[in-house]
Amino acid sequence: MKFNDIPYARPDLEKTQTDMLALKEAFLKAETFEEQWEKMSEMNKIRKDIQTMAALVSIRHSINTLDPFYEKENEVMDEMEPQLEKLNMMFYDLLLESPFLKEFEERLGEYFFERMRLVRKTFSEEIMEELAKENRLATEYQKLLAAAQIEFQGEKYTLSGIQIFFESPDRDVRKSAQEAMWSYFEEHAEKFDDIYDQLVSLRHSMAVKLGYENFVQMGYDRWGRTDYGPKEVAGYREGVKKFLVPLASEIFEKQRERLGFESLNYYDLPFTFPSGNPMPQGDKDQLVSAAVKMYDEMAPETGSFFRMMVERELLDLKQKKGKAPGGYCNFIENEKVPFIFSNFNGTSADVDVLTHEFGHAFQVYQARDIPMPEQRFPGMESAEIHSMGMEFLAYPWMKNFFGEDTQKYYYSHQTGTLTFIPYGVLVDAFQHYVYENPQATPQERKAKWRELEKEFNPWKDYTGNDFLESGGRWQLQAHIYAVPFYYIDYTLAQVVAMQIFLRMQKEDPALWQDYLAICKVGGTLPFLSILKEGHFENPFDEAVVEATVEGLQKSLAGFDHLSL
């Protein structure tokens, strides 16, 4: 069945509650493990039905936020979610309190139950109203982004569409395009501030109600982090500051040298080479065709999977009016297939989507038969290894996408990999400040962002843009609003993905099987255990960060950057 043919029906909450309660009674009366497993499976089917409908609503709403039907359904799902979470808690309680808990742990793995205990810790009926409001506010933020119509050169552009001008060889075009986009945020600053104010206050209130000092540990627990916490992440941030910030500064200094400017302004940062950035060859259909060829040649598993995605139209890649910005991978439970969402804009990021989001999609498809939906994806710090790792695994085929720009792409991708990590760490440090200081005003938050920016991204010069100079840049980062404490995951995974690249350099014959192994385990193991499964090193070890960065430095030393 093609994506648009998958039927949607609004979940009947009352019937769902009645059916789940009936199965609860049957579960409690069951006298053997196998009987309880059978009732658990029936409850799981109901949960998967709900998740299927929720995924369809989320995807179709983001494809067209102007569609009144799915806008309404999205609002209904936001309101319904806390009630459904209450049923999930009942489901978890039954398993955790079962006399056959040991047997369940043997079949589903101990980590599943460790995560369930954290989920129980972060949920209570007394915060259900706040959870529904949190969903509404996150949706309100997304709609504010999707509604942007940036006037530029006589045309109107979405936030995704305007960004192609950020890479223009004409410096004045780059500057005015960036100014046009940031003026949208400045014009709506009060609204952006108000939404975030409410989110911070709400999250702090929920955390206190549940017995936390503030939202920080609750945020970590929400992500199911059982093998590391704020202390380890703080140490990791210091390692990044020590080894990566100086290297990133050096990379941007070389960029300034290539471009021949006295100083590198913020609107120059996306423009990497004086002859222009690497640009993919062809339109959306040509890029997808090149991806089909790439995945056919990469491995039997990738070839058949990507062809299925294309045939079933499980990719929505082109930008259009009303479409939410960004890119993601979702999973449709009852169809056992992922969905890739993106906004192609004619830059090299279009190719990155076909590798990065494909990595997520490939991983979750490999884990499609694991019984529990909660185990489909691993924790995000592990999930991003699959996506960022696939960007490197795709290197041998980049000539099919970039032609003569291939070397430019390699240099740009590797430097981007390194310079991204300090930014990701900056986002994390900012969120720690925000939730450790929930009473901070919007002005204090923005001042703190700018202070941290100078610490982790010292190359950013906002001369001439008062909004950015005052610390407003973070309001474009949707993760800060919608999924607090997620962003550090990208950076941890990036360190591991760089290890994939270094193993490719050594032509490691075990690499593909190790990559496949960490895909197949899904979310059955925590982060550090998944690293062991794939024979990767722990990024919380400062020596690992140092050695990995040195490996990328050696690769970059092989480029004559001035000739690119």
Coil, strand, or helix at residue 124? coil
Is residue 161 in a domain?
yes
Q: Following DSSP, what letter does each residue of 55-81 receive, concatenated? A: HHHHHHHHH-TT-HHHHHHHHHHHHHH
Is residue 122 in a domain?
yes
Is residue 486 in a domain?
no
- 37/8 same-domain check: yes
Encode pLDDT of 181-230 as tens digits: 999 999 999 999 999 999 999 999 999 999 999 999 999 999 999 999 99
- For residue 248, with 0-12 CB atoms within 10 Å meaning exposed, 13-18 middle and 19 or more buried, which class applies? buried
What is d(CA 49, CA 515) in angstroms, rounded to the nearest whole number?
A: 30
Provide the residue type at 517 as one letter: A
Is residue 36 in a domain?
yes
pTM given for the model = 0.88
Laid out side by side, the sheet with 328-332 consists of 315-318, 337-344, 328-332
What is d(CA 8, CA 55) in angstroms, rounded to the nearest whole number?
A: 10
Question: pLDDT at position 326, please?
Answer: 85
Q: Following DSSP, what letter does each residue of 231-298 receive, concatenated? A: HHHHHHHHHHHHHTHHHHHHHHHHHHHHHT-SS--GGGTT---TT-----SS-HHHHHHHHHHHHHHH
- 171/108 same-domain check: no
Give the H or E element holding residue 194.
Answer: helix 189-209
What is d(CA 10, CA 49) in angstroms, rounded to the nearest whole number?
A: 10
- Give the range of the structural domain holding residue 83, as residue numbers without chain letter: 3-134
Is residue 55 in a domain?
yes
Beta bridge partner(s), residue 316: 341
- 16/106 same-domain check: yes
Provide the residue type at 159 as one letter: L
What is d(CA 353, CA 214) in angstroms, rounded to the nearest whole number?
A: 36
- 8/122 same-domain check: yes
- 158/128 same-domain check: no
- 63/170 same-domain check: no
- 72/162 same-domain check: no
- Per-residue pLDDT in tens (0 to 9) along the chain, 564 residues: 999 999 999 999 999 999 999 999 999 999 999 999 999 999 999 999 999 999 999 999 999 999 999 999 999 998 999 899 899 999 999 999 999 999 999 999 999 999 999 988 998 889 989 998 999 999 999 999 989 999 999 999 999 889 999 999 999 999 999 999 999 999 999 999 999 999 999 999 999 999 999 999 999 999 999 999 999 999 999 999 999 999 999 999 999 999 999 999 999 999 999 988 899 999 999 999 999 999 999 999 999 999 999 999 999 999 888 999 889 999 999 999 999 999 998 889 999 999 999 999 999 999 999 999 999 999 989 999 999 999 999 999 999 999 999 999 999 999 999 999 999 999 999 999 999 999 999 999 999 999 999 999 999 999 999 999 999 999 999 999 999 999 999 999 999 999 999 999 999 999 999 999 999 999 999 999 999 999 999 999 999 999 999 999 999 999 999 998
Is residue 319 in a domain?
no
Cβ neighbors of 404 (< 8 A, separation 6 or more) are none
Residue with tokens 């400017």: 261
What's the chain's length in residues?
A: 564
Total count of domains within the chain = 2
Is residue 395 in a domain?
no
- 119/24 same-domain check: yes
Encode pLDDT of 352-400 as tens digits: 999 999 999 999 999 999 999 999 999 989 999 999 999 999 999 999 9
Encode pLDDT of 526-563 as tens digits: 999 999 999 999 999 999 999 999 999 999 999 999 99
How many helices and strands (H and E) does the chain possess? 24, 5
- Any idea of the CA torsion for 141, 144, 145, 151, to the nearest 10 degrees? -160
- Asked if 395 and 548 count as a contact pair (C-beta separation under 8 A), the reply is no
Angle CA 73–74–76, to nearest 5? 60
Is residue 235 in a domain?
no
- For residue 509, with 0-12 CB atoms within 10 Å meaning exposed, 13-18 middle and 19 or more buried, which class applies? exposed
Provide the residue type at 450 as one letter: R
- 26/78 same-domain check: yes
- Asked if 448 and 478 count as a contact pair (C-beta separation under 8 A), the reply is no
- 152/52 same-domain check: no
Cβ neighbors of 449 (< 8 A, separation 6 or more) are 430, 471, 472, 473, 474
- 111/64 same-domain check: yes
- For residue 553, with 0-12 CB atoms within 10 Å meaning exposed, 13-18 middle and 19 or more buried, which class applies? middle
Half-sphere exposure of 336 (CA within 13 A, CB side): 9
Give which of 12, 226, 280, 223 is closest to 109, Cα–Cα: 226
Backbone angles phi, psi at 330, to 5 degrees: -120, 170
- 172/110 same-domain check: no
Q: Look at strands 315-318 and 328-332 and give their pairing.
A: unpaired
